[in-house]
Amino acid sequence: MKKRQTKSKRAVLECLKRAENFGLRSDEIENQLPEFDRVTIYRILQSFIDDGIIHKVISDDGKFYYFKCHTCGEIHYHNHYHFKCDNCGKVECMNNEIEVKVPSGYKVSNVNFWITGVCRDCNS
Amino acid sequence: MKKRQTKSKRAVLECLKRAENFGLRSDEIENQLPEFDRVTIYRILQSFIDDGIIHKVISDDGKFYYFKCHTCGEIHYHNHYHFKCDNCGKVECMNNEIEVKVPSGYKVSNVNFWITGVCRDCNS
DNA sequence: ATTAATATTGTAACTGCGTTACAATAAGAA
DNA sequence: TTCTTATTGTAACGCAGTTACAATATTAAT
């Protein structure tokens, strides 16, 4: 099952890199890449996640956002906030590690932190 | 649009109270209350949320969990962790307020914090 | 207790989003 | 160039939640 390089994979990765630490939904990627089928895009995103190249986060209204953030590719769980601006709609990774405190006896393996509010750009 | 008391509403609230600070999915409530239609249950849950009686949280795999936790009904956003045990599958509200630190310029209005791991019961 | 107004319910059909099956295509090694 | 098989597109499916609408049940007024 050796992976192959394809136009579609390169294109999807380009989309996510262009977005930087802002996240995209799969339908946003679809719109940017109408030459590829949505199933293909889903599969590529999943394979990137399996490889640790990107990560995905669920929003509070049940949609997945995909990120190619600066810590992707390293061994880590993505323990930073993901902030969605209610005004402009943009979703971004906040690049601060969060110290997750849980009661004794609990063991944390993964986190999904979602915040909504107003971003700096929309506040000024 | 004055609200009315019904058997279904009482039954749904009973389910959630019985669960205490553990969360339930709508399909779990459906199974407990086969006498009511799933649409009815969805509507009741939504109306409870509108009234602030319960709150809902999205899990990292895209399912909603409904909680009647001890702080529901007060004016607050539910800024506590929601912990799902990978072993026993239970989901619980962790009753500690989290101090959410965001970069200056950002304004937080709502949070959705989801953690997975192993709970105290399954660890011992 | 009756009646009337309308909030609530059940049924059916629909939506959005992600997945699966399978045959056709194309990447990359020989 | 040829072969192997990873990848793709098409179509159909599945799940979770929503909407439309007519039937029912709660509550207030008589």
pLDDT tens-digit readout, B67-91: 999 888 876 677 899 999 999 999 9
What is A7-123's CATH number?
A: 1.10.10.10
Contact B103 A115 (CB under 8 A): no
Per-residue pLDDT at A75: 67
pLDDT digit string (tens) for chain A, length 124 residues: 789 999 999 999 999 999 988 999 999 999 999 999 999 999 999 999 999 999 999 999 999 999 999 888 876 667 899 999 999 999 999 988 888 999 999 999 999 999 999 999 999 8
Q: How many Cβ atoms sit within 10 Å of the Cβ of residue A2?
A: 3
Backbone dihedral region for residue A39 (phi beyond 0: left; psi -120 to 50: alpha; all else: beta): alpha
Within residues 81-120 of protein chain B, the ones with CB less than 7 A from nucleic strand C are none
Asked whether residue B113, judged by its CB, lies under 7 Å from any atom of the DNA or RNA strand D, the reply is: no
Rounded CA gap, B13 and A33, in Å? 46
Per-residue pLDDT at B106: 96
Per-residue pLDDT at A87: 94
With CA of B39 and C1' of each nucleotide, the nearest comes out as C10
Per-residue pLDDT at B76: 67
Asked whether residue B43, judged by its CB, lies under 7 Å from any atom of the DNA or RNA strand D, the reply is: yes
The residues, ordered by sequence, that sit 6+ positions from A35 with a Cβ below 8 Å of its Cβ are: none
What phi and psi, each to the nearest 5 degrees, are found at residue A98?
Answer: -100, 135
Per-residue pLDDT at B72: 87
Least confidently predicted of A73-82, B8-17, B95-104, B114-123: A73-82
The nearest alpha carbon in chain B to A79 belongs to: B115
- A2 in helix, strand or coil? coil
Contact A111 B114 (CB under 8 A): yes
